Structure 1
């Protein structure tokens, strides 16, 4: 059996969509690695963009899909029991959960790259996969809206001429528990694609003030907002200001009344 079998990669894939992906303009959404932390505010903004006639496609990186695989298998095997154990002995429960997930990973050779590839390399691979996915789409104009690590992937792919606008909530300039990682920011010096970053003033991955320490391209605009890294909800006037800024950035007609009443974007699930 060739070694390539053990590192076969399905790559990036769609998980849901709103509207037809065959449109001339398409909004690609790529979330954070911690898929459990969804943002209702971001979903509302996506819903408003879709209401302007823009189809939406949510993509997941291979890293996120592997997270989900491990979580779902773990939950089916021992989730309730280990959670009960963690309530009494947190450290022991944490160790057992990691051991079980490691055993699950051993049964999936096609996912072993998750354990052996450095995380910074995973972003580069995901960006390559994103460009490859765009090759399958007829859209001539792609907008990317991301959250956290999704912003690293989309901005790494941003040199692709089909990507004409980038938006990110909470760009992770630096992991709060790790040393400075140039792989997160070096490419931002050379980025030619217009990039709007909405950054919380208490974001542990870097605030708008922190962003000033990096040599960013002139095509990048930082919009400071109150809050941390989750961007779950902002005060009404701040959310309205963010929505207005994004619509203007995408050259869409602002309609604050529609934005205020928009429901979260849910979409149609893709695959199983």
Structure 2
């Protein structure tokens, strides 16, 4: 028997906002003994560590004071932070982040994370910007399937940005987009469905981009869709009939 697929959770780019929906998904996979890994950008973690050091060492210019900084203090903040970033083991990551678009860096970091795992087969479950990163690396051999909550097809306050959608039709692995009808980043399948590839299905729920307070019935629909793409990934890998992997619904894993 092949080892179970690992689950990788890739959340929002704004880490100040929690992805409670991914926590619920992680709990379901954990209940049946499936390995779950949460992606966190090492560069972002290092940056937060530098911020904390600055707030402790230089409280006079720290952003945690909640006050607008004068330009000399702001310049001092960035100068010291840049020096610490250059001394960090992640200095190459900081340099690349300064030169390349955020969405490209996010995809690259997610791919490195997946390649570092002890599992060679993963299903990526995402929320918001995590969906952009995951779909951009969908062709990677480790990625078997993708489930995306609240895919950000468009930013409600910006013009259309091609990097969000131009690659989606090339995704040929099992995929599901679970979208709230009230999602400001795209909630109408008639509008965003044209961007998706032939192997992608859509589940519409009565919620917004946050998924807060999603009732048990709606979550059950989402979970069924995620479990379905998981089973399709199992079927594709093993070349066995779908019934062999459908046992995962009862708590077993393929």
TM-score between the two structures when normalised by the length of structure 2: 0.73
The residue that corresponds to 2:77 in the other structure is 100
- CA distance change for structure 1 residues 67 and 172 in 2, over 3 Å: closer, same or farther? farther
The residue that corresponds to 1:115 in the other structure is 98
Segments of structure 1 that go 5 or more residues without pairing to the other structure are: 1-21, 87-91, 256-272
Asked if 1:34 is matched to 2:11, the reply is no
Asked if 1:205 is matched to 2:185, the reply is yes
The residue that corresponds to 1:133 in the other structure is 116
Tell me by how many angstroms 1:58 deviates: 1.1
CA RMSD of aligned residues (A): 3.2
The residue that corresponds to 1:166 in the other structure is 146
The residue that corresponds to 1:57 in the other structure is 37
Alignment length (residue pairs): 226
Indicate conservation of the 8 Å contact 1:39/1:233, yes or no. no
1:198, 1:122 → 2: CA distance? 24
Which of 238, 242, 251 is equivalent to 2:222? Answer: 242
Name the SS of the counterpart of 1:107 in structure 2: helix
Which of 246, 249, 253 is equivalent to 1:253? Answer: 249
TM-score between the two structures when normalised by the length of structure 1: 0.69
2:85, 2:44 → 1: CA distance? 15
- CA distance change for structure 1 residues 226 and 142 in 2, over 3 Å: closer, same or farther? same
Asked if 1:187 is matched to 2:167, the reply is yes
- CA distance change for structure 1 residues 85 and 236 in 2, over 3 Å: closer, same or farther? same
Name the SS of the counterpart of 1:222 in structure 2: strand
Q: Which has the higher contact order (CA 8 A, sep 6+)?
A: 1
- CA distance change for structure 1 residues 127 and 58 in 2, over 3 Å: closer, same or farther? closer
The residue that corresponds to 1:270 in the other structure is none
Indicate conservation of the 8 Å contact 2:55/2:64, yes or no. no
Indicate conservation of the 8 Å contact 1:130/1:157, yes or no. no
Name the SS of the counterpart of 2:214 in structure 1: coil
Tell me by how many angstroms 1:94 deviates: 9.9
Asked if 1:152 is matched to 2:152, the reply is no
